[in-house]
Amino acid sequence: MKRKPRLAKDVNRDVVLCRTYNRTAVRTACELLMEDSISYSQRWIRIPFFFQKECHGATEVCVVSVNRNDYTSARRSISRLDMRYRRRLAVNSL
């Protein structure tokens, strides 16, 4: 009788790397993550109409998440981003 393969302890343990409203900042940050072979997930969350004023008129916010084990290397790759895009990212600190 064969055993089922066990999953590692850190499967599906994603942490939020950054949030932003700017699409070009997300695209360049994701390109850097792909260059460094860091897996990530990106999801767009719709902002309700009454909260758009607090978010400077944005209709969606992008949340980029990475695995907990890759968090430090992802922060290093985000730090290589150009300053005009890095200012638009709200990077989490653990």
For the cut 80, the answer to whether the pLDDT of residue 43 exceeds it is yes
pTM, 2 dp:
0.79
Q: In 3D, which of 10, 67, 9 has the Cα closest to residue 33?
A: 67
pLDDT tens column, 68-78: 888 999 999 99
The reported pLDDT for the residue numbered 6 is 63
Residue 2 confidence (pLDDT): 66
Does the residue 6 lie in any domain? no
Of residues 52 and 8, the one with the higher pLDDT is: 52
- The domain total for the chain is 1
**Closest to 75 in 3D by CA, of 18, 35, 26:** 18
Q: What residues make up the domain containing 46?
A: 17-91
Q: Would residue 11 count as lying in a domain?
A: no
Mean pLDDT within 31-39: 93
- Average pLDDT of the chain? 85
Task: Give the domain CATH number at 44.
Answer: 3.30.70
